[in-house]
Amino acid sequence: MSNNSYPITDRYSIKIVTELNEFEKLRTIWDNLAEKQGAHMPFLCFDWFKMWLEHFLKDNKLLILLVYKGEQLEAIAPFFLQRDKFKSIGVKKIELIGNVYSPVRNFIYGDLSNEEKKKCLLSIFSYLFNNLNGWDIIDLCPVLEDNENLTILQSIIREKSYQNWVEFYAENWYMNGINYSSNEYFNRRSHPDFKKSFKRRKKRFEESGKVEFKMVKEDEGIDEYMDYYYEVYGKSWKKREGVGPTFHRDLGKLAAAKGWLRLGFLYLNGTPVATHFCIVSNKVGYFLKVAYDEKYKDYGLGNVMHYETIRYMIDYDRIESIDLGAGNEDFKKFWVSDKREMKRIILFKNSFKGNSLAFLNNGILPTLNKYKPLRRIKEILGNRLQ
């Protein structure tokens, strides 16, 4: 472990991990904290981050902050530093490790109280703003609106007067408190027009040939099933995976080894025509990816996959919550009852460039957006800056 240690207060200090070989030494203490935290464990455990870094870190820089209270590790801030664009201007950006494949991005606190979490976050931002150079903005996204992190971050921003920007990122549809059978779950779903249409299309599909549903959970034969997954995905309406073309294969192996994997398939006459990549952990079903052969789109196979997968998870896994992930798609409201907003919080460094970016984002651009002639100037400037 690196000896880079920065005292923040009499009780708190920060240690920095910037090399992958140093990161590899953190497995035990990392997972101890993540297991205490409980929520979203699959996306906060050491192996998730290790896999993500192998696929996506590339030329970006690792920046993991370990928060110590005395000799005790209290929290982990899994950051990385990358070059990016903000309002068409090149920036050096700090963000929590993750990308479009990450259902959540969070600090790892174990079982700390909200007061203790705030002290850890104050230590983290104190180090970043007062001790670390070489960055322009911090991008915290997504932050759930009903998560204590949002309240704590907003409190810190007010107290420290950090220049910031908060905006809507996406909706997250979900449902908690499921303590009944799948039959009761489906009976409780409203939207009679949707239910009628769904049943009609599902029946038509079942009449088109021999239909089978299979749920893959084990790692035996996982490569073959992942071949089926990519085969179906390649025939779907979705764009081919350009960001991480083999990421889900490795995630499937990891999830199967840990008992989290729920990889569903619909077969028509022995051929897979739809698939659903999900994870189950701590009584929560996370729905990550659904795809189906475009040739069968008139049968509504996306909804058929949701039906079969939810039925399985409720009756066999006894899940109590469903999380359909980020996205504003209309179909989600038919399957779950609640939604919350995901926020993006941008913090600007107190430097010439950081202050200029804050003034541009919070002052100039809102003014330009109010007036049509000025919006045109903004568009011209934006095109020239790109």
Residues 189 and 120 reside in one and the same domain: no
Nearest to 24 by CA among 58, 64, 67: 64
Asked if residue 328 is part of any domain, the answer here is: no
Q: What is the pLDDT, as a whole number, of residue 2?
A: 46
Do 9 and 158 belong together in one domain?
yes
Residue 383, pLDDT score: 58
Do 79 and 16 fall into the same domain?
A: yes
SS3 4: coil
* 72 contacts 115 by C-beta, under 8 angstroms: no
Q: 41: closest CA among 352, 274, 286? A: 286
Query: Quick check: 107 and 75 in contact, CB under 8 A?
Result: yes
Phi, psi of 235 (to 5 degrees): -100, 5
Residues 267 and 376 in one domain: no
What range does the domain containing 125 cover?
A: 5-172+341-385
Pair (139, 217) in one structural domain: no
| Sites in the chain below the pLDDT cut of 50 | 1-2
Residue 33 shares a structural domain with residue 141: yes
H helical segments located in the chain:
20-23, 27-37, 46-56, 114-130, 148-160, 182-188, 192-206, 222-234, 247-258, 301-312, 332-335, 352-359, 365-370, 372-385
The DSSP string of 312-335 is HIIIII--SEEEEEE---TTHHHH
User: What is the structure's pLDDT at 192?
Assistant: 81
Residues 266, 210 contacting (CB under 8 angstroms): no
Say what the pTM is: 0.91
